[in-house]
Amino acid sequence: MKTTDQVTIIRHPLVSRDLTILRKTETDTIDFRTALGRIATILAYFALKELPLREKTISTPITTARGYEIDTDIIVVPILRAGLSLVDAIIDFVPDAKVGHLGMYRDEDTHQPVDYYSKLPNGLDEALVLLVDPMLATGGSADDAINFLKKQGANNIRFISLISAPEGLDRILKKYPDVSIITAAVDEKLNSDAFIVPGLGDAGDRYFGTE
Ligand code: PRP
């Protein structure tokens, strides 16, 4: 899988180093959180790279100059729980972003997403919606979330994931050609439990210390 117009796969030495920390079984909660936090900043940087700007004349202490403001509302939507790990990095760059929440867990037997919560801000139709979840495995959760967001009016969605399986990536790319994806890694495959191989295990459990 290569970077295309629809999918950006981030290549960066710091991402390679931090992904290694995240993948290692012996990495404890503190190191897991800090490494994920650093990658989240890089993911956020790439996800916000093509933002529209509006020009504005400003006054400096010396003269007037051309300045810029971001010309779109931004709504961040984490898929609970693990998606919460990617929210702060975006809000650090865009402090006025609104945040919606979608609660979803994957049934361990059927591997299908189960919805348990949703709370979204107004203005989805006008905003750039950044849907965030560190793991894109079968793509069921992302598919469900995108479908729901579109029904609520969202029409400019970017999906940010840390690690993607080819199966999930293909599913979202094919079903939603208008949704762009930013990811830090495309792994080998899914195993029979629908876990990403080699992956890093359960991101939510490792991030929140609930293993
Ligand atoms: C994980 C992950 C995604 C989903 C990915 O969540 O964070 O939401 O599974 O799998 P899929 O692409 O096959 O749908 P999990 O069910 O572990 O819930 P959690 O975030 O509460 O830990």
Kindly report the pTM of this predicted structure: 0.96
Quick one: pLDDT at residue 12? Answer: 96
Model confidence pLDDT, tens digit, residues 11-70: 999 999 999 999 999 999 999 999 999 999 999 999 999 999 999 999 999 999 999 999
CA-closest residue to ligand 1 atom 6: 105
Q: Which of 84, 110, 141, 183 to mutate to test the pocket of ligand 1 (most atoms within 8 A of CB)?
A: 141
| Location of structure tokens 């029904």 | 151
Q: What is the pLDDT of residues 114-173, one digit of tens each?
A: 999 999 999 999 999 999 999 999 999 999 999 999 999 999 999 999 999 999 999 999
> How many A from CA of 141 to the centre of ligand 1?
7
Structural domains of the chain, ranges and CATH numbers in brackets = 2-51+72-208 (3.40.50.2020)
- Report the C-alpha gap between 130 and 48 in whole angstroms: 9
Evaluate: CB of 203 within 6 angstroms of ligand 1.
yes
CA of 40 from ligand 1 middle (Å) equals: 17
Report the atom number in ligand 1 closest to the C-alpha of 138: 13
